[in-house]
C-alpha cells in the first residue's frame, strides 16, 4: 500500500514537470519566432530620413517595418558568408543587424536620404524571404570621391524548399544631393555607353545597363546569366575616353557655370578693410566643427549657407554658429538648380529649409544662396516673398575642384579687397585648411572678417529681394 502511494506521488510529480517543460519550450519557440530583426532601441538610434519630393530616387515607397522581417526558423544555421570589405572611410559606417537566421550588413552614410534608400533595398529584399531558412545581405563599397559612392549589394537566401538563391543590386549615390545617380548622368550626352561597354566585354555577357558602380579606375555592371544568376563585370574607365564625365556631373551639380558671378575683385570704396567669408553645402560634423574652432582663434565671423537635408544630425553646429556670432542662410534643401524646377519645388526647397533652421535658431532666415548662383525673376520674386535676399560672391577659388589648401588660400589673398564676398565649402578638409590660412594672413594684413549681414549694414543695409555679388556692389532685383 505504501509503495503504491509513493509511486503514485512520483508519477504526479513527473507529469507536472513534463507539462511545465513542454509549456516553456512552446513559449520559447513562440518568442523566438516572433522576435523582430531590429529592436526598438536599434530602430530609434537610426534617424528617419526627411522626405524630399524632387531629388530623392526611392526604390520602394514603403519601408518594411521590423515586425515584417521575422525570424521564422530559429533552428536554422547561417552558412559561412564573407564579411563585408572594410568601410573605414569618412562618412561611411558599417552596420550589422544579425538576428537568428537573418544577417543584414548595410552601410550608413551622413545622408539621411541615402540611408532611407539603402534600408528600403535591404529590408524589402529581406521581407521577400520571411518564410525561408535564412537570409543574408552583404555589400562592397566603390568610392569615386567624397560625393559619389557605390554599393554592390549581394543577397543570399535559402527558402523553405531549401533552394539557394543569390541576387545582386548595384547602386551609385550622390551623398551631398541625397540621391541615386543613373548611369547616363555619368557619360557625355548622346554617348552610347552601352555599345561602348559591350565592345569591351566578351559577347557572352548580357549586361544590365540600368545600374552601375565605379571607383577611380573602373566601372562595374551586372551580367545576367541564363540560370537567373548574375555576375559583376568590370570595364576600365579609360575605355570610355573623354565620354566618361563623372567630373562633369560634379561640375554640373557642385561647380559653377560660366554664368556664375565674376571672380574679378571688387573695387574698394570708403574706409576700412572688411571681408565676408562664406561656406556652402554644410554643415559637416568634423570639418565644420574644426572650422568654427579656427575662426574663433582669429575672432573672425563667417556666413554659412546650409543644406536643409543635413540639419537632422547637425543642429548642434547650427546653434554653435549663432551663439558664436556667425550668420546662417539657406542653400536650399537638397542643392537643386532653382531655375530648372517647378514653382512648387522652389517653394518646398526654400520653406522646408527655412522651417528647419527657424526651429533650431528661433530666427527668420533672410539670406539665400541659390545653388550654382543660378537665379531668375521667379526665384528672386519667391525669395522676396519670404523676406530674403540672394547672396552671390565675387571671389571663387574653386576649392571644391582644386582640393589644395595653399592654392585656395593664395587665390583668396591675391583677390582680397574691401567688400568682397568669398565663396568656399566647409565639407572638404582642404577648404577648411585653406580658409583658415587665408583668415590668418589677411587678419595680419589688417582685414576684418564679418558676416554678410554686417557687410551689407555697413553699406546701406540689406534690401529684400536684392541680389548681392559684393558688400559694396550694386544691388539688382
Cα–Cα distance, 303 to 328 (Å, whole number):
6
Grid cell digits, residue 187 = 557619360
**Active-site residue identified among 110, 280, 396, 399:** 280
**Active-site residue identified among 425, 426, 433, 453:** 425
**Residue 425 is among the residues annotated as catalytic for this protein:** yes
Rounded to 5 degrees, what are φ and ψ at 198?
A: -60, -35
Q: Which residues contact 59 (CB under 8 A, 6 or more apart)?
A: 117, 120, 121, 124, 180
Cα–Cα distance, 156 to 136 (Å, whole number):
5
Cβ atoms of residues 265 and 290 within 8 Å: no
- C-alpha closest to that of 304 among 331, 334, 336: 331
Residues identified as active-site: 280, 425
Amino acid at each position: 500500500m505504501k509503495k503504491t502511494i509513493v509511486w503514485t506521488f512520483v508519477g504526479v510529480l513527473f507529469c507536472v514537470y513534463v507539462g511545465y517543460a513542454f509549456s516553456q519550450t512552446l513559449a520559447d519557440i513562440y518568442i523566438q519566432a516572433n522576435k523582430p530583426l531590429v529592436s526598438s532601441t536599434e530602430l530609434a538610434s537610426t534617424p528617419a530620413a526627411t522626405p524630399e519630393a524632387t531629388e530623392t530616387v526611392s526604390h520602394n515607397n514603403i519601408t518594411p517595418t521590423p515586425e515584417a522581417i521575422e525570424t521564422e526558423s530559429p533552428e536554422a544555421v547561417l552558412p559561412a558568408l564573407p564579411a563585408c570589405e572594410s568601410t573605414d572611410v569618412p562618412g561611411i559606417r558599417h552596420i550589422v543587424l544579425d538576428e537568428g537566421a537573418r544577417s543584414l550588413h548595410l552601410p550608413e552614410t551622413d545622408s539621411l536620404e541615402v540611408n532611407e534608400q539603402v534600408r528600403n533595398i535591404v529590408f524589402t529584399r529581406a521581407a521577400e524571404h520571411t518564410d525561408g531558412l535564412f537570409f543574408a545581405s552583404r555589400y562592397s563599397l566603390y568610392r569615386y570621391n567624397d560625393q559619389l559612392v557605390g554599393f554592390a549589394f549581394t543577397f543570399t537566401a535559402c527558402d523553405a524548399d531549401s533552394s539557394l538563391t543569390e541576387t545582386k543590386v548595384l547602386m551609385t549615390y550622390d551623398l551631398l544631393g541625397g540621391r541615386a545617380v543613373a548611369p547616363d548622368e555619368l557619360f557625355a550626352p548622346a554617348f552610347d555607353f552601352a555599345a561602348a561597354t559591350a565592345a569591351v566585354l566578351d559577347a557572352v555577357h548580357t549586361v544590365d545597363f540600368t545600374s552601375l558602380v565605379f571607383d577611380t579606375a573602373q566601372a562595374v555592371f551586372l551580367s545576367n546569366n541564363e540560370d537567373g544568376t548574375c555576375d559583376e563585370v568590370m570595364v576600365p574607365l579609360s575605355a570610355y575616353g573623354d565620354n566618361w564625365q563623372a567630373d562633369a556631373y560634379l561640375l554640373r551639380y557642385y561647380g559653377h557655370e560660366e554664368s556664375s558671378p565674376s571672380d574679378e575683385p571688387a573695387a574698394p570704396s570708403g574706409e576700412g578693410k572688411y571681408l565676408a567669408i562664406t561656406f556652402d553645402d554644410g554643415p559637416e560634423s568634423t570639418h565644420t566643427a574644426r572650422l568654427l574652432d579656427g575662426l574663433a582663434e582669429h575672432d573672425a565671423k563667417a556666413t554659412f549657407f546650409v543644406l536643409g537635408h543635413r540639419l537632422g544630425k547637425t543642429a548642434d553646429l547650427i546653434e554653435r554658429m549663432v551663439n558664436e556670432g556667425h550668420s546662417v542662410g539657406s542653400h536650399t534643401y537638397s542643392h537643386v538648380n532653382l531655375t530648372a524646377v517647378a514653382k512648387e519645388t522652389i517653394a518646398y526647397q526654400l520653406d522646408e529649409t527655412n522651417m528647419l533652421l527657424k526651429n533650431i535658431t528661433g530666427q527668420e532666415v533672410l539670406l539665400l544662396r541659390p545653388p550654382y548662383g543660378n537665379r531668375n525673376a521667379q526665384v528672386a520674386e519667391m525669395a522676396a516673398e519670404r523676406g530674403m535676399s540672394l547672396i552671390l560672391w565675387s571671389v571663387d577659388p574653386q576649392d571644391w575642384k582644386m582640393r589644395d589648401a595653399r592654392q585656395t588660400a593664395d587665390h583668396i589673398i591675391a583677390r582680397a579687397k574691401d567688400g568682397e564676398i568669398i565663396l568656399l565649402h566647409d565639407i572638404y578638409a582642404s577648404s577648411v585648411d585653406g580658409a583658415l590660412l587665408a583668415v590668418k594672413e589677411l587678419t595680419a594684413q589688417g582685414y576684418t572678417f564679418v558676416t554678410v549681414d554686417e557687410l551689407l549694414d555697413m553699406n546701406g543695409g540689406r534690401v529684400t529681394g536684392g541680389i548681392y555679388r559684393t558688400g559694396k556692389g550694386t544691388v539688382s532685383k
